[in-house]
Amino acid sequence: MTFVHQEVWHWQIATYLFLGGLGGATFAISALIHLFEGCDRKMLSVAVMSSIGFLVLGTVFLLADMLQPLKAIYALTNPRSWIFWGVIFINFYFVSAIAYVIPLLEVWPKINPYVQKIPRGILDLLERFNKLAALTGSAAGFLVAIYTGLLISAAPAISFWNTPALPLLFVISGFSTGAAFLLLLSTFSKNEESWKIIAKLEELDAMLIVTELIILGAYFNFALFLPTGARESAQVLFHSPLFIIGFFIFGLIVPLAIETYGIFFAKHTKKSGHLLVIASVMVLLGGYLLRYYVLKAGLFQFPW
Amino acid sequence: MARYGMVMDMRTCVGCQACMAACTAENQTPFWNGKFRTHVEDKAQGTFPDVRRVLLPRLCMHCENTPCLSACPTGATFMTEDGIVKVNYDRCIGCYACCIACPYDARYAYDREDVNKEEELYGKFTSHKQPHVDKCTFCDHRVSEGREPACVSTCPTNTRIFGDLDDPNSEVHKLATSGKAQALNQSLGTSPKVYYIPS
């Protein structure tokens, strides 16, 4: 039995997986905040436009890694493939996100004239079903985020990936990066109201990081349990300083400590504002490192 | 309908790599970049002085339960009625999902560089006109003419035995069901149609 590193999916796909999780989660969290908390439309439109941007950029990275990107439409052929479902989820996401964001763009004086060029009937319809679009969009965002994990878990001979823990880890990490991005965005807002949202986001991100730590614990416990490729992969990660220090320490533990300080000691005051910016950037970098290293540590278990 | 399969009699393989050369010539695989549809693994087993050389010819196992076929979003990977797993080059987008899903490392990318090099070498007789993911086809173009795959007819030691697994009179059926031959990585549940008789 030999273990061989997968040499097929590299940083381009890691970037796609990261941006997919980030874009899907950013939209899902923004839409849910809108539904349950209310939110200022300027912030919301920036958040949703950025999430669309992340997904567009992610798709560009995916296409750039293909041998025949111009034939990508064929990817809607085989429903047994996770990529098929990924395409469905991403398109469902784009439709929901665009339908959702158009009425929100009316608050921008420079963009509003362009929005007004859309027939009034359609605009009224979009406005009326804005909350429905938020709801379907958050479902689409969740599906896009979890799909990034499902895609790579469909490899029977890479036992480190071929586990239900991986989609779970990716979706939680995706939502953590989404919350971190929104936190980062909110700290730049001059609107006093946004500090209320920051408090929520800070708590959400801290909870997501704790959940991520629990899943990571279970995941590595499973990986180290049997003498398979999964154990070898876990060993590879344990011997990667950038994974341990970059992802685990600076991507999870330090931001969690900062957010804990913000929640319990700074009581969500602006005192912890600068620290929050640092924590958010760290979570985002950590999210990327997680995907990069999980792909890098994918080991085939060959019988020779 | 036939259900084609292969038995590798490991007792006779000498590691001459004639199968690799035959396959390369037959199917124009990009040997210039070290990419082959069939490959002979050459490993040392044990520690000195108790060392043994182990050879293992491998290729696409043409699994019954195909992870590559499930992973392919475009339907480019398909199974013929004869149980041969093939790639439709016109439909392949080269997303590599099948390469990741294959537990036997049987697939490789025939990229733009390979297509150009092939054009340079074979001129108008090229068989790979566009980038795609490539793999063994059991030489189905030869099989349909009643001939054996190139690697089988070239093997000087008769290590490779090809035929219809469902035909009770075929040698491949007898060997595959003899109990001596085993498929690789059976625990994955892919039901490969290539069997190995250990040396």
pLDDT digits (tens, 9 = 90+) for B50-106: 998 889 999 999 999 999 999 999 999 999 999 999 999 999 999 999 999 999 999
A75 touches chain B (CB under 8 A): yes
* pLDDT of the residue at A244: 95
**Cβ contact A74–B91 (<8 Å):** yes
Longest dimension (CA), chain B: 53
- Give the residue from B103, B81, B89, B74 showing the smallest Cα distance to A80: B74
Nearest-CA distance B104 → chain A (Å): 7
Q: What count of CB pairs under 8 Å joins A to B?
A: 113
**Cβ contact A75–B58 (<8 Å):** no
* pLDDT of the residue at B127: 87
A151 touches chain B (CB under 8 A): yes
* B27 has pLDDT over 90: yes
Distance CA B58, CA B60 (A): 7
The domain spanning residue B31 has which CATH number? 3.30.70.20
Helix (H, G, I), strand (E, B) or coil at B41: strand
Name every chain A residue with its beta carbon within 8 A of the beta carbon of B190.
156
Helix (H, G, I), strand (E, B) or coil at B197: strand
* B26 has pLDDT over 80: yes
Mean pLDDT throughout B40-45?
90
Peptide bond between residue B49 and the one before it cis (omega within 30 degrees of 0): yes
Mean pLDDT throughout B17-39?
95
Residue range(s) defining the domain that contains residue A135: 2-302
Q: How confident is the model at residue B192 (pLDDT cuts 50, 70, 90)?
A: very high
**Cβ contact B101–A156 (<8 Å):** yes
A165-187 helix and A194-223 helix, angle to the nearest 10 degrees: 160
* B126 has pLDDT over 70: yes
* pLDDT of the residue at A186: 86
* pLDDT of the residue at A117: 86
Across-strand partners of B197? B9
User: Cβ(B95)–Cβ(B132) under 8 Å?
Assistant: no
A68 touches chain B (CB under 8 A): yes
Between B107 and A304, residue with greater pLDDT: B107
* pLDDT of the residue at A195: 75
* pLDDT of the residue at A269: 67
User: Cβ(B103)–Cβ(B117) under 8 Å?
Assistant: no
Exposed, middle or buried, A208 (CB in 10 Å: 0-12/13-18/19+)? buried
- The closest CB to that of A75, out of B93, B112, B132, belongs to B93
Which tens digits make up the pLDDT trace of A152-175? 999 999 999 999 999 999 999 999
* pLDDT of the residue at A268: 64
- The closest CB to that of B93, out of A74, A155, A302, belongs to A74
Report how many domains make up chain B: 1
Distance CA A216, CA A239 (A): 16
What pTM was estimated for this model as a whole?
Answer: 0.93
* pLDDT of the residue at A182: 93
Report how many domains make up chain A: 1
**Cβ contact A74–B73 (<8 Å):** yes
Nearest-CA distance B167 → chain A (Å): 28
Mean pLDDT throughout B119-132?
90
- The closest CB to that of A83, out of B73, B91, B133, belongs to B73
**Cβ contact B73–A87 (<8 Å):** yes
Longest dimension (CA), chain A: 66
A119 touches chain B (CB under 8 A): no
Name every chain A residue with its beta carbon within 8 A of the beta carbon of B104.
157, 302
Q: Searching chain A, which residue's CA lies closest to the CA of residue B94?
A: A67
* pLDDT of the residue at A250: 95
**Cβ contact B91–A77 (<8 Å):** yes
Alpha-carbon dihedral angle through residues A177, A180, A186, A188, given to the nearest 10 degrees: -100
**Cβ contact B184–A66 (<8 Å):** no
CA distances from A136 to A94, A147, A276 (A): 11, 16, 30
- The closest CB to that of A77, out of B41, B73, B105, belongs to B73
Nearest-CA distance A301 → chain B (Å): 7
* pLDDT of the residue at A252: 94
Residue range(s) defining the domain that contains residue B174: 4-197
User: Cβ(B193)–Cβ(B165) under 8 Å?
Assistant: yes
* B135 has pLDDT over 70: yes
Q: Searching chain B, which residue's CA lies closest to the CA of residue A7?
A: B100
Distance CA A293, CA A13 (A): 12
Burial B162-193 (b: 16+ CB within 10 A, else e): bbbbeeeebebbebbeeeebebbbeebebebb
User: Cβ(B112)–Cβ(B32) under 8 Å?
Assistant: no
- 3-state SS string for chain A: CEEEECCCCCHHHHHHHHHHHHHHHHHHHHHHHHHHCCCCHHHHHHHHHHHHHHHHHHHHHHHHCCCCHHHHHHHHCCCCCHHHHHHHHHHHHHHHHHHHHHHHHHHCCCCHHHHCCCCHHHHHHHHHCHHHHHHHHHHHHHHHHHHHHHHHHCCCCCCCCCCCHHHHHHHHHHHHHHHHHHHHHHHCCCCCCHHHHHHHHHHHHHHHHHHHHHHHHHHHHHHCCCCCHHHHHHHHHHCCHHHHHHHHHHHHHHHHHHHHHHHHHCCCCHHHHHHHHHHHHHHHHHHHHHHHHHHHCCEEEECC
* pLDDT of the residue at B94: 95
The domain spanning residue A254 has which CATH number? 1.20.1630.10
> Which residues of chain A fall below pLDDT 50?
none
Name every chain A residue with its beta carbon within 8 A of the beta carbon of B75.
74, 77-78
Name every chain B residue with its beta carbon within 8 A of the beta carbon of A71.
74, 91-93
Name every chain A residue with its beta carbon within 8 A of the beta carbon of B73.
74-78, 81-84, 87
* pLDDT of the residue at A76: 92
Helix (H, G, I), strand (E, B) or coil at B8: strand
Mean pLDDT of chain B: 94
User: Cβ(A184)–Cβ(A281) under 8 Å?
Assistant: yes
Q: How confident is the model at residue B143 (pLDDT cuts 50, 70, 90)?
A: very high
